[in-house]
Amino acid sequence: MPSTAGNNFIPEKIIIAYDDKQAKIDLYDTPLAKRFLSALKDNLKNQRILEKNFCFLGWAGSKRDLSHLVKELNENITQINSFHFNPPYEQIHKFVVDDFQYSSNLPTGLCPDGDEMSKPGLRLKHESCNLLHRYFEELQGTAWELSPLYKQADLPTKYAIRQLNNLCHEIENWVLSHRKSIVDPEWMRPSQITTFLNAPRYDLHDDDYELFKQNRYDRELGGVYLHWSQVGKTLYEVFRDEGAPEMTEAMCSEINHQKYYSGEFDIEWGQTITENNSFKKQEMTQFREWLKNNNFDWDDPKLSLGYIKLGQVDMETAFPQKPFLEIYDEMKNNLNIRKIYTTGDFVSCEYPYTLDSEDWKQIQIQGLKQGYESRNMC
């Protein structure tokens, strides 16, 4: 996978301890990877809370299935609707499972002709996800300009607003992987989103943007990628989720090109996918054509078109000679991070609570409170 240092790794490693598994991350020897590692250590030293309810996405075998996620979503909507905003915000309607997923009674299967709606069974309904994302953006604002509604909300409501975004993405990923688990299990897209409450963000350096161009949209099994640490949709998400629309001025105003990094990271636990895969090559050809038609330059690094790859899980150590589905089966029984530490100067933090703990929500709300108080936002 691409690296400005020719795939050389820095000596210091990141170790993640799951319930019954351990994974070692090798980081590329790049200036950004070194700054990322420093930011990660800062999160560990300050014992920032790991967001465990937004950590493992796209695991079809998880007990956080669609019914569970919709129930949790509606609990947060109840909290938001109960708060008296000034000026008032619209009452958000409750959702049901059918709002997010087409019925299994409809034709379900692969569509080699490209007409996905010829077999809509179990597919994701993007409209509800887009609506949910609109609520979130209006209520929270952006990373650089928080909404007045968010600022006036009390802590339980701030937490609930945050969950609109978290649950929207978790629902999207679960539905996509659940369908794949039935029609084409080799192409489920499980991932790990490693985020911390109140994690500081830093501006990307000019040279960092070239890393988007080096990796583009390749995703490697065990690949470690820079986390998207801001609110809003990317050009790729608009192209993919909204049917490659003609871009209007209003739509352009909603696009965010990545400009921050943080000590947060994502791990791809799905099969490696690159433009060597014919279906990916076709999609990316269409994406480049869509960009051109809408006056966006594929070669402009500041458009952040791609994922920056920071490093790689040592798969041979963690899963020697195992194919994807066996790795998936091992990991689906380890969807809990107990500890993260770095070698070298050994910076470490333990995360003893789980989503089975009765107080996990209160732990996170309290963690958010500390962050708001430190920034005079309460």
What is the pLDDT at residue 1?
A: 43
End-of-domain residue from the set 184, 199, 218: 184
What is the average pLDDT score of the chain?
A: 92
In this prediction, residues 53-74 reach a mean pLDDT of 95
Which is higher by pLDDT, 60 or 6? 60
pLDDT tens profile 294-317: 999 999 999 999 999 999 999 999
Q: Does 245 lie in the same domain as 97?
A: no
pLDDT tens profile 268-281: 999 999 999 999 99
Under a CB-based contact definition with an 8 Å cutoff, are residues 178 and 59 in contact? Answer: no
Q: Does 344 lie in the same domain as 220?
A: yes
**Residue 14, domain extent:** 1-59+190-354
Q: Is 117 exposed, middle or buried (0-12, 13-18, 19+ CB in 10 A)?
A: exposed
Q: Does 246 lie in the same domain as 141?
A: no
* Nearest Cα to Cα of residue 305 among 189, 209, 169: 209
How close are the terminal C-alpha atoms of the chain, in Å? 44
How sure is the predictor about 31, in pLDDT bands with cuts at 50, 70 and 90?
very high
- Encode burial over 198-211: b for 16+ CB neighbours within 10 A, e otherwise: bbebeebeeebbeb
pLDDT tens profile 3-21: 444 569 999 999 999 999 9
pLDDT tens profile 212-253: 999 999 999 999 999 998 877 899 988 987 877 888 877 777
User: Does residue 94 lie in a domain region?
Assistant: yes
End-of-domain residue from the set 184, 207, 234: 184
| Whole-structure pTM value | 0.90
Distance separating alpha carbons of residues 289 and 296, to the nearest angstrom: 10
Please check the confidence at residue 329 and state whether its pLDDT lies above 90: yes
Please check the confidence at residue 185 and state whether its pLDDT lies above 60: yes
pLDDT tens profile 82-111: 999 999 999 999 999 999 999 999 999 888
Type of residue found at 28: Y
Please check the confidence at residue 78 and state whether its pLDDT lies above 70: yes
| Number of structural domains the chain divides into | 2
User: Does residue 376 lie in a domain region?
Assistant: no
User: Does residue 375 lie in a domain region?
Assistant: no
User: Does residue 342 lie in a domain region?
Assistant: yes
What is the pLDDT at residue 143?
A: 63
Distance separating alpha carbons of residues 188 and 277, to the nearest angstrom: 15
End-of-domain residue from the set 154, 184, 214: 184
User: Does residue 281 lie in a domain region?
Assistant: yes
What is the pLDDT at residue 371?
A: 61
What is the pLDDT at residue 373?
A: 53
73 alpha carbon, distance to own chain's centre: 17
Which is higher by pLDDT, 377 or 174? 174
Other Cβ atoms closer than 10 A to 174: 25
In this prediction, residues 28-46 reach a mean pLDDT of 97
User: Does residue 365 lie in a domain region?
Assistant: no
Q: Does 113 lie in the same domain as 73?
A: yes
Write the CA distances from 306 to 65, 113, 213, 218, 228, integer angstroms: 29, 27, 7, 8, 11
Q: Does 323 lie in the same domain as 265?
A: yes
User: Does residue 266 lie in a domain region?
Assistant: yes
